[in-house]
Amino acid sequence: MPVLPTKLPNTGTTIFTVMSALAAEHGAVNLGQGFPEFSADPALLQAVTDAMAAGHNQYPPMTGVPALRQAVVAKLNDLYGSAYDADRDITITAGGTQGIITALHACVGAGDEVIIIEPAYDSYDPAIRLAGAVPIGVPMTLDYRIDWDAVRAAITPRTRALIINTPHNPSGRVATSGDLLELERIAEQHDLFVVSDEVYEHMVFDGAPHESVARYPALRERSFLVSSFGKTFHVTGWKVGFVAAPAALSAAFRRLHQYTVFTVHTPTQHAIAAYLANPAPWQGLSDFYQAKRDRFRAALAATPLKLLPCEGTYFQTVDYRAVSDLPDLDFAKWLTTEIGVAAIPLSVFYQRPQERGHVRFCFAKREETLALATQRLQKGLRG
């Protein structure tokens, strides 16, 4: 047999797969992998059945069903004061991950450098490498804020793009208007493209706004905005999202999109388009998850774990150093096998693992699941 080539020689199984398998093996409550445990709105599920019954079962347009692209534009333009065009600027994607990787392939090439803010979601690094480019990790500050001085110091003549993620996975932090203005200045000064991962855009807490690149005209003109219906509507397995970008960027994106996935599941697109006619589900999402966050944090407060800020997403990061001096991967495995609760170690979200004694829990779970997890943590960590 010939040797199989690989563009990702140092990439193994994701931590999410590893920890989920360990949780299943030991009967642990899985608060590691970030997916909602509860079902979608029955009205949305029925809308898919209705779309199939109506005959929407063949290829849709490559860029996405027109009604869905129009619904996306209406929402973005109303929320952020943008002026996206449904025909030119919106492409429906096979989830946020496909949107990110295709956007990167559209704007970077061999030898280019792409800045990622660490800890960073684990798909960014391989996506950059698959495009032939070089990921440059810039760590956040100790309290998980973007270190803009460090970002500026990391820019070289080869820097071509920067990935930003807000609300941020895994830290739960949310970018401020000051962050977006600084990003705008840097991107303009160094002529950079921006890939903005905003899949948690409707999970921002305590009355704070979501600061999208769509709010900032100069930034919008050089950005690929990526979002996910799966995250918003509790249907991550559907793998449907979108990318919004100005016409020139969208044209480059679509040239690649047509030869990778070509298009996305037709009846699901029609169903989401119809469902978006009622804004209440996504408008109520922040309150829904904030209530879960508050109950989860209140229960964790009865443990020795130190709660770090959670301003958005459905992730809660904790400092466990009052419990153990184990490295975070070892602690996460111990927590799974001995306490019966699975978490994700934050060191895996860095190019060069940084041991800070932090793990991440997902609270997008049913109340009984969270109650069982916190009971185990309260009992097991108190000894």
pLDDT of residue 383: 57
Domain boundary residue, one of 259, 279, 299: 279
What would the mean pLDDT of 254-274 be, rounded to a whole number?
97
33 within a domain of the structure (yes/no): yes
What would the mean pLDDT of 48-74 be, rounded to a whole number?
98
> Do 86 and 200 have their domain in common?
yes
2 within a domain of the structure (yes/no): no
Question: Residue 319 forms beta bridges with which residues?
Answer: 306, 358
pLDDT of residue 112: 98
pLDDT digits (tens, 9 = 90+) for 277-305: 999 999 999 999 999 999 999 999 999 99
> Do 180 and 71 have their domain in common?
yes
**Residue 52 belongs to domain with CATH number:** 3.40.640.10
> Do 265 and 298 have their domain in common?
no
What is the spatial distance between Cα 87 and Cα 123, in angstroms, rounded to a whole number?
28
What would the mean pLDDT of 46-65 be, rounded to a whole number?
98
Environment class of 145 (CB within 10 Å of its CB; exposed 0-12, middle 13-18, buried 19+): middle
> Do 241 and 308 have their domain in common?
no
> Do 213 and 303 have their domain in common?
no
**Is residue 155 helix, strand or coil?**
coil
Report how many domains make up the chain.
2
Domain boundary residue, one of 230, 250, 279: 279
Yes or no: say if 213 and 220 are a contact pair by the CB < 8 Å rule: yes
> Do 250 and 299 have their domain in common?
no
Identify how many contiguous H helices and E strands the chain contains and give both numbers.
16, 13
> Do 103 and 28 have their domain in common?
no
Q: What is the pTM of this model?
A: 0.96
pLDDT digits (tens, 9 = 90+) for 123-163: 999 999 999 999 999 999 999 999 999 999 999 999 999 99
pLDDT of residue 74: 97
Average pLDDT, the chain: 96
pLDDT digits (tens, 9 = 90+) for 226-244: 999 999 999 999 999 999 9
Query: Is residue 352's pLDDT more than 90?
Result: no
Name the residue range of residue 92's domain.
42-279
Residue in the block written with tokens 């490498």: 129
> Do 103 and 160 have their domain in common?
yes
Secondary structure E strands in the chain: 29-30, 90-93, 113-118, 134-139, 159-165, 193-197, 223-228, 241-244, 306-307, 315-319, 341-342, 344-345, 358-362
Q: Cα Rg for the chain, rounded, in angstroms?
A: 21
376 within a domain of the structure (yes/no): yes
**Residue 293 belongs to domain with CATH number:** 3.90.1150.10
Domain boundary residue, one of 244, 279, 314: 279
**Pairing relationship of beta strands 358-362 and 315-319 according to DSSP bridges:** antiparallel
pLDDT digits (tens, 9 = 90+) for 307-320: 999 999 999 999 99
